[in-house]
Amino acid sequence: MCWPKSSEFYYDNKKIVGCGRIAKATLGESATSVMRENVKREIVTHHALRITCLASRAALAARHFHPYRRAVARAASNAFPFTRYRPIVAIYPLRLKPKLDHRLWGGQRLARWLGLPEPLPDDLAEIWLVYAENPILNGPLAGKTLGEAARELGEGLLGSQSIPRYDRDFPQLAKFIDANDRLSIQVHPDDAYAHTVEAHTGFHGKTEAWYILHAEPGATLIYGLKRPSSREEFARAVAEGWLEELVHYLPVQTGDVIFVPAGTLHAINEGILLFEIQQKSDLTYRVYDYNRRGPDGKLRELHLEKALDVIRYEPPAQEKIPPIALEPDRDLLVACPYFALERHRLAQARAYATRPTSFDAWTVIEGAATVAGERLALGQSIVLPAHLGDYLIEPEGTATLLRTYYPDLDADLIGPLHWLGYSDERIAQTVKSA
């Protein structure tokens, strides 16, 4: 048989890339001989073993690879008897087990929207869809977390763009948030502060963006300050109880996009359901919580001193982000160095391909669709590794999906947008440098 056209697989945490062609290769003896004849080794820094497969441009695409996994791994082990056998891991779409987060400001709207079974929880506040600690549900990596897979596969999963900044750490967190009650007024640090003052937590800074899925009439966010202030005045407003007079209330409606860079004071108020994409972090500094008490009966902890260190005391230069059309039914909602968020409205199957620079993460927000062979119902997500290559999205009727990835702003967005005729000024309204 002729092995299917392919990209790569991984052995001993090292990428094995195909080039050339195998005709009439059969499982077992032929696979072993091919590996012995066509695999070369090269010792690199720290005596690590780098294995490059010269056997086939075709060898072992992820979706065709599993039946051959043990035989080829054994062949690689035989080719290098001084190495310890480790299974080869294929590149394939990753389904994740979401994390349901219950908090005192949550409600039932998110559960009803997703059709969760009765009885519905009264305080479902967040669903963490794509996060380093989410367990993988399918394939050879099942049982491992997304973060463990990222450390094992490196660029094969993450792509090359995020690694210089975050090494093999999965860099993003995507979630749904249901604000049945108003959240605390809070702020998040940037990378520099997180990597020094909060280094023990392992978290990065937290820049985030919101896509409003539903907003009740009159719904608002707290977004920055209404006028310039200072550390001293802000601390006095908190101490004397007039902080709400200093903050800016922003009316929102369904479909709005809000970019929240680190250091921006903010709060999601009641009556809002949204999708959030952010840096992988859970560093939140509460500055005011309406004197609410936690499950233990005590006032919830505030983090005023750290908040005062990181708050931006000037009003935001821009409030809502205008989407920018990339092609029919494909809109860029917002982008920054840490993430890009796109909205795709599909009425028929469409072909896509991952790029070697970044993974793709897809979430269905209307209808249902099959993504790279995996059916996603409303509210479900999937992560497609950077080296997966070509794939298809097939909507069931019509569907709307959100796509997140780690962008090269110039190559992925600014350059193409210039080519489409957009001005620097218009691009800067949607593509943020920080």
pLDDT of residue 25: 32
Give the separation between CA 204 and CA 321, rounded to whole angstroms: 24
Q: Which long-range contacts (CB under 8 A, 24 or more apart) does 46-51 make?
A: 48/14, 49/12, 49/14, 49/80, 49/83, 50/14, 51/11, 51/12, 51/14, 51/16, 51/76, 51/80
User: How far, rounded to the nearest angstrom, does the alpha carbon of residue 11 sit from its chain's CA centroid?
Assistant: 26
CA distances from 90 to 69, 97, 170, 383 (A): 8, 20, 18, 14
Give the separation between CA 202 and CA 224, rounded to whole angstroms: 27
Q: Which residues contact 171 (CB under 8 A, 6 or more apart)?
A: 158, 162, 165, 204, 279, 280, 338, 406
**φ, ψ dihedrals at 294, nearest 5°:** -80, -175
What tokens does 198 get? 């909060």
pLDDT tens for residues 191-219? 999 999 999 998 899 999 999 999 999 99
CA distances from 332 to 105, 139, 152, 261 (A): 31, 31, 31, 18
All structural domains of the chain, each given as residue ranges with its CATH number in brackets, are 8-90 (no CATH), 95-310 (2.60.120.10), 324-430 (2.60.120.10)
Query: For residue 29, is pLDDT > 60?
Result: no
**φ, ψ dihedrals at 313, nearest 5°:** -90, 5
Give the separation between CA 261 and CA 208, rounded to whole angstroms: 6
Residue among 109, 151, 168, 286 flagged as catalytic = 286
Q: What angle do CA 259, 304, 170 make, to 5 degrees?
A: 45
Query: For residue 56, is pLDDT > 90?
Result: no
pLDDT tens for residues 312-344? 999 999 999 999 999 999 999 999 999 999 999
pLDDT of residue 88: 60
Query: For residue 260, is pLDDT > 70?
Result: yes
Give the separation between CA 120 and CA 113, rounded to whole angstroms: 11
Residues 288/294/299/300 CA torsion (nearest 10 deg): -40
Give the separation between CA 131 and CA 388, rounded to whole angstroms: 19
Please tell me the number of Cα atoms within 13 Å of 53 on its side-chain side. 32
Give the separation between CA 329 and CA 115, rounded to whole angstroms: 26
- Which three-class secondary structure state does DSSP give residue 75? helix
pTM for this one?
0.81
Active site residue 41: no
pLDDT tens for residues 59-111? 333 333 333 334 334 444 444 443 444 456 689 999 999 999 999 899 999 99
Q: Which residues contact 317 (CB under 8 A, 6 or more apart)?
A: none
pLDDT of residue 324: 98
Contact of 39 with 83, CB cutoff 8 Å: no
What tokens does 113 get? 């929207």
